[in-house]
């Protein structure tokens, strides 16, 4: 009975097992077809991405080889474009929009907050650098005694004054955006703000000697007005090279003259930051948005960036657009790359405005067109350097680069 029962059951299962095997074969075939189709689509998409890349990079085959989307041919001496990251090859097979400025863009660059306010204002990120997302946001305050910031960028006022909240990308710390935070006491008075400005000016003029009155008055005037602004404080280190226009000192950092890592400020120099704010406010009044795409960079950051470019393009090519560590102006805290640090910025309204007006705020366009043999770097419409208005106006009038004006070189020894 039991045997028979099992036999019957066994026989009754046989035909169904045959059907199952056929179905399985059909499914196998279908699966192979689907996988082949997916592979074909990936190959076609990859080929398209590669060919687009070669067009946008003007034949930079090295960039293609790495399949990393960086504006290598247009990078800055201090280098603000993303260093090639090999993982990007895997995670980012597609070419981004060529119009992408590859930097942070915020909806505001100045935030006003009261001490102890329950409101936690923040700057909304409108655009991320290539490869970065909301998850890569790293927020920090440069003075937590004045304001703190949480991991989402929400700002809390601690005591009256001004500081900067810095947003950077965890994937590429050279990508930064600065938000100026003005903290008032709960009554709304900003007396501390004025005091802060005056302190900065005194710090600058103590080293200067001559411009105390001018600088103090300039710092108490409205931000949008064009006023005199002194050169940044002199760093007392015989290892650094200063040139002079009259009694105005000008720190020189180029291929010939190095920055001493021990003197690095660790952030944008305060007069430079304040003057850049005024510059941005004036641009905004003319309907243009300027922002700091990259300011201060440390020796070690520059070392990482430069070495990446050397391994990608070779040292000779890298030296035309990327500074060796110790030789980047960004290490001084006096240089800023504005908006999009690439050739995409050339010929924009913003670049034209910057070239015309940066001198009014104490900045000079450091690497003008056609001066590569003199400055050591190709044309950069986005890189400005703070020198103070006395020097910037003089340089503008002369039509010369710093190297030409002082008769100095920019060559590695
Ligand atoms: Zn630069």
Q: What is the pLDDT of residues 285-314, one digit of tens each?
A: 999 999 999 999 999 999 999 999 999 999
CATH of the domain at 149: 3.30.1380.10
Q: What is the pLDDT of residues 35-65, one digit of tens each?
A: 666 666 555 555 554 444 333 333 333 333 3
Residues 329, 330, 332, CA angle at the centre, nearest 5°? 70
Cβ-Cβ contacts under 8 Å for 86 (sequence gap 6 or more): 66, 68
Mean pLDDT over residues 253-265, rounded? Answer: 97
Does residue 274 fall inside a structural domain?
yes
Lowest mean pLDDT of 67-81, 179-193, 197-211, name the range.
Answer: 197-211
Domain region containing 154 = 105-406
Q: In Å, what is the CA distance from 339 to each residue of 17, 109, 112, 226, 361?
A: 68, 13, 23, 21, 17
Of 40 and 93, the one with more pLDDT: 40
- C-alpha count within 13 angstroms, C-beta hemisphere, residue 182: 16
pLDDT at position 44 is 52
Q: What is the DSSP code string of 23-74?
A: HHHHHHHHHHHHHHHHHHHHHHHHHHHHHHHHHHTTT-HHHHHHT----GGG
Residue 96 has pLDDT above 80, yes or no: no
Mean pLDDT over residues 357-375, rounded? Answer: 97
Does residue 9 fall inside a structural domain?
no
185 φ, ψ (degrees, to nearest 5): -75, 165
pLDDT at position 342 is 94
Of 26 and 262, the one with more pLDDT: 262
Element (H, E) at 393: helix 389-398
Does residue 401 fall inside a structural domain?
yes
384 CA from centroid of ligand 1 (Å): 7
Lowest mean pLDDT of 104-108, 132-136, 195-199, name the range.
Answer: 195-199
pLDDT at position 365 is 98
366 CA from centroid of ligand 1 (Å): 9
Cβ-Cβ contacts under 8 Å for 339 (sequence gap 6 or more): 101, 103, 289, 290, 291, 293, 345, 348, 350, 382
Does residue 38 fall inside a structural domain?
no
Does residue 82 fall inside a structural domain?
no
pLDDT at position 105 is 72
Mean pLDDT rounded to a whole number for the chain: 75
Contact 61, 54 (CB under 8 A): yes
Domain count, the chain: 1
99 CA from centroid of ligand 1 (Å): 20
15 CA from centroid of ligand 1 (Å): 76
Residue 14 has pLDDT above 60, yes or no: no
Residues 94, 97, 99, CA angle at the centre, nearest 5°? 155
The pocket of ion ligand 1, defined by CB under 5 A, consists of 76, 78, 337, 383
Does residue 219 fall inside a structural domain?
yes
Contact 176, 109 (CB under 8 A): no
Whole-angstrom Cα distance, residue 380 to residue 377?
Answer: 8
Does residue 72 fall inside a structural domain?
no
159 CA from centroid of ligand 1 (Å): 33
340 CA from centroid of ligand 1 (Å): 10
Residue 25 has pLDDT above 80, yes or no: no
pLDDT at position 40 is 60
Of 277 and 41, the one with more pLDDT: 277
Read off the pLDDT band of 110 (50, 70, 90): low
Of 21 and 240, the one with more pLDDT: 240
264-171-148-187 Cα dihedral, nearest 10 degrees = 100
Does residue 60 fall inside a structural domain?
no
Whole-angstrom Cα distance, residue 154 to residue 406?
Answer: 46
78 CA from centroid of ligand 1 (Å): 5
Of 187 and 281, the one with more pLDDT: 281
pLDDT at position 3 is 38
Lowest mean pLDDT of 173-182, 248-257, 297-306, 312-321, name the range.
Answer: 173-182
387 CA from centroid of ligand 1 (Å): 15
Residue 253 has pLDDT above 50, yes or no: yes
342 CA from centroid of ligand 1 (Å): 10
Decide: helix, strand or coil at residue 115. Answer: strand
Mean pLDDT over residues 136-142, rounded? Answer: 86
* Per-range mean pLDDT, top range of 15-19, 197-201, 264-268: 264-268
Mean pLDDT over residues 255-273, rounded? Answer: 97
């Amino acid at each position: 009975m039991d045997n028979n029962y099992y036999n019957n059951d066994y026989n009754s299962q046989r035909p169904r097992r045959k059907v199952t095997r056929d179905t399985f074969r059909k499914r196998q075939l279908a699966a192979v077809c689907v996988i082949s189709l997916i592979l074909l689509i990936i190959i076609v998409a990859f080929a398209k991405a590669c060919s687009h890349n070669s067009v946008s990079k003007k034949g930079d085959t090295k960039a293609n080889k790495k399949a990393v989307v960086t504006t290598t041919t247009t990078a800055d001496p201090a280098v603000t474009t993303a260093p090639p990251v090999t993982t990007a090859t895997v995670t980012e097979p597609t070419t981004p929009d060529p119009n992408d400025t590859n930097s942070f863009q915020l909806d505001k660059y100045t935030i006003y907050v009261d001490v102890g306010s329950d409101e936690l204002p923040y700057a909304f990120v409108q655009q991320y650098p290539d490869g970065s997302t909301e998850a890569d946001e790293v927020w920090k305050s440069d003075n937590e005694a004045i304001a703190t910031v949480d991991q989402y960028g929400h700002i809390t006022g601690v005591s009256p004054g001004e500081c900067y909240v810095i947003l950077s990308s965890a994937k590429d710390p050279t990508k930064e955006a600065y938000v100026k935070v003005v903290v008032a006491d709960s009554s709304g008075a900003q007396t501390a703000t004025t005091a802060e400005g005056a302190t900065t000016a005194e710090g600058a003029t103590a080293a200067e000697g001559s411009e105390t009155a001018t600088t103090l008055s300039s710092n108490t005037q409205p931000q949008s007005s064009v006023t005199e602004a002194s050169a940044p404080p002199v760093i007392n280190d015989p290892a650094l090279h200063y040139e002079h226009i009259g009694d105005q000192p000008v720190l020189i950092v180029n291929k010939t003259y190095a920055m001493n890592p021990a003197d690095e400020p660790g952030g944008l120099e305060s007069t430079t930051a304040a003057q850049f704010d005024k510059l941005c406010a004036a641009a905004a009044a003319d309907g243009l948005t300027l922002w700091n795409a990259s300011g201060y960079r440390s020796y070690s950051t520059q070392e990482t960036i430069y070495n990446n470019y050397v391994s990608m393009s070779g040292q000779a090519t890298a030296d035309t657009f990327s500074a060796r560590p110790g030789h980047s102006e960004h290490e001084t805290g006096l240089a800023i790359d504005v908006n999009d640090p690439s050739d995409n910025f050339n010929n924009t309204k913003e670049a034209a405005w910057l070239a015309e007006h940066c001198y009014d705020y104490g900045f000079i366009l450091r690497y003008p067109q056609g001066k590569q043999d003199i400055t050591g770097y190709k044309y950069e419409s986005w890189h400005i350097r703070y020198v103070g208005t006395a020097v910037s106006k003089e340089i503008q009038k002369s039509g010369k680069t710093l190297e030409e004006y002082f008769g100095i070189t920019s060559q590695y020894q």
